[in-house]
Amino acid sequence: MPPVFAVPSPDACPVHAVASGTFESWLSGQPQRVQAWVSAHGFSGACGQALTVPGADGTIEMALAGYGCAAQRARRRFVLAEAAQNLPAGTYRIASGLPAEDAATESLGWLLTAYRFDRYKAAEAAGAALTAPDGIDANAIESLAAAECLTRDLINTPASDMGPAELQAAAEGLAQDFGAEVSTIPGADLLKQNFPLIHTVGRASDRAPRLIDLRWGRSGPRLTLVGKGVCFDTGGLNLKPGNSMALMKKDMGGAANVLGLARMIMAAGLDLQLRVLIPAVENSVSGPAFRPGDVLTSRKGLTVEVNNTDAEGRLVLADALALAAEEAPELLISMATLTGAARVAVGPDLSPFYTDHDGDAAALAAGAGRTADPVWRLPFHAPYEPMIEPGIADLDNAPAGGFAGSITAALFLRRFAGDCRYMHFDIYGWTPGAAPGRPKGGTGQGARALFAALPDLLEL
């Protein structure tokens, strides 16, 4: 179940968020027994510190959470989540010290400490539960947490239980929860309805490829989200080495993120027309696998020379983007675990994005800052266009040389977005090492920032 705030109770333990710069003044105002206890345990207000203080009867009277200094907080995404992980199980309430402008973000981080992926093992005991602080929209924060948990669960599920059909079922379940509609084009029907690239990439698997199409909302501007749904990527005939293949259950992270974003939008009841397109495939190895050197014709009519079958994500996205562009939405967004080059450029924590519109980039950066969902703009650098233009076809799916791999992939996708106002996210979708509020495993990237920016992006 998604984490929610605890029911308010007079028995909830008060938590005092204590910054290192105000620690001495806070401590001097406490009773002597509290001063002695806190000093004896070395609490100083540093980020991540947590301390329970007993009352005269030995039960917990209060809890302290280190809030650090500005420099320490700049190195963390969720400050209170670090302390929450170190508190004993129970129900807590924020009593003092948490700045009002930080309350929503820190509450979200606390909720996300409760996330567990326990599908394949016994559930862990509940940890420290938080009642909603005053002044926040508790329902909105719970909705963000639920969307993040949906995304994490989808990515964390191994490919044995998360193939194209299961991804379709997840979209259908989400649609049922919010009154949306889902249609699907499976298998050979992809060829009949002119989605040749999606079919080609997925045809080597015995789990049929498909295009999942979710629609919600009947008024307002049109927003279309396209998410890469490669449920497992062997690399195809350009087979990945074992170490590179180990995490490829997460190659549908783009699909998981757009479904998480769709959940936020529908739960909030935003006045817009939402469409979510997910090309869902497995890139497998068998007799029908597509080959290096093949030239493929896309839905848009552009031909693509395949120079690496491991650059399949941009192929399936191309057909989905072409379909999306035919409807000319006000905003078209793609999200994909697309290139290793993006990880080299910005690491696993930042979500690189592309847009031709400075105003959209500014709105997104502001949204990222409000939701602890960091993003970084990379350029649609037009002088690199010749790099994706081979001599034998219109486009090259894997330019030689290795330079600017994320940018050339983004330029490739832009060719299929037509004249739409287009944004592309080249995400990682995985937390490689546990952090407060973000356990090791699948993660949302860019979705909260986009959700926060949508009122500005679409003038809602």
Task: Render 280-305 in DSSP notation, one character per residue.
Answer: EEEE--STT---TT-EEE-TTS-EEE
- C-alpha span between 271 and 276 (Å, rounded): 16
| Nearest Cα to Cα of residue 399 among 375, 407, 408 | 408
Q: Which residues contact 412 (CB under 8 A, 6 or more apart)?
A: 314, 318, 388, 395, 397
At 214 the pLDDT is 99
* Catalytic choice (77, 116, 240, 370): 240
Residue 140 token pair = 């909105």
Tell me the three state secondary structure of residue 268: helix
**Catalytic site includes residue 314:** yes
* Catalytic choice (152, 203, 249, 314): 314
At 131 the pLDDT is 97
At 184 the pLDDT is 98
- pLDDT tens-digit readout, 298-331: 999 999 999 999 999 999 999 999 999 999 999 9
Q: Which residues contact 7 (CB under 8 A, 6 or more apart)?
A: 131
Instruction: Over range 131-152, report the average pLDDT.
Output: 97
Instruction: Over range 187-202, report the average pLDDT.
Output: 98
Q: What is the architecture, at CATH level 2, of domain 13-129?
A: 3-Layer(aba) Sandwich (3.40)
- C-alpha span between 232 and 246 (Å, rounded): 10
User: pLDDT exceeding 90 applies to what percent of the chain?
Assistant: 96
At 126 the pLDDT is 82
- pLDDT tens-digit readout, 208-251: 999 999 999 999 999 999 999 999 999 999 999 999 999 999 99
Q: Domain 143-457: give its CATH code.
A: 3.40.630.10
Mean pLDDT estimate for the chain: 97
What are the residue ranges of helices labelled H in 56-137? 70-73, 79-84, 103-112
Number of alpha carbons in the 13 Å side-chain half-sphere of residue 100: 2
At 2 the pLDDT is 85
- C-alpha span between 171 and 357 (Å, rounded): 30
At 402 the pLDDT is 86
- pTM listed for this prediction: 0.97
- pLDDT tens-digit readout, 358-386: 999 999 999 999 999 999 999 999 999 99
At 448 the pLDDT is 98
Residue 125's pLDDT band (boundaries 50, 70, 90)? confident
Instruction: Over range 167-195, report the average pLDDT.
Output: 98
- The full DSSP string for 62-73 is EEEEEEE-HHHH
Tell me the three state secondary structure of residue 378: coil
- C-alpha span between 448 and 144 (Å, rounded): 7
Domain assignments of the chain as residue spans, ordered by start: 13-129, 143-457
**DSSP symbol at 2:** -
Using CA atoms, how far residue 40 sits from 35, 86, 167, 412, in Å, is: 8, 18, 53, 61
Residue 299 in contact with residue 197, Cβ under 8 Å? Answer: yes
At 56 the pLDDT is 86
Characterize 286-320 residue by residue with b for buried, 16 or more Cβ atoms within 10 angstroms of its Cβ, and e for exposed. Answer: eeebbeeebebebbbebebbbbbbbbbbbbbbbbb
> What's the length of the chain?
460
- C-alpha span between 352 and 348 (Å, rounded): 10
Using CA atoms, how far residue 346 sits from 11, 88, 349, 426, in Å, is: 45, 36, 8, 11
Give kind and range of the element (H or E) at residue 225: strand 222-227
- pLDDT tens-digit readout, 404-447: 999 999 999 999 999 999 999 999 999 999 999 999 999 999 99
- pLDDT tens-digit readout, 250-299: 999 999 999 999 999 999 999 999 999 999 999 999 999 999 999 999 99
**Catalytic site includes residue 300:** no
Residue 279 in contact with residue 228, Cβ under 8 Å? Answer: yes
CA angle 338, 341, 344 (to 5 degrees): 125
Residue 285 in contact with residue 166, Cβ under 8 Å? Answer: no
- C-alpha span between 93 and 296 (Å, rounded): 59
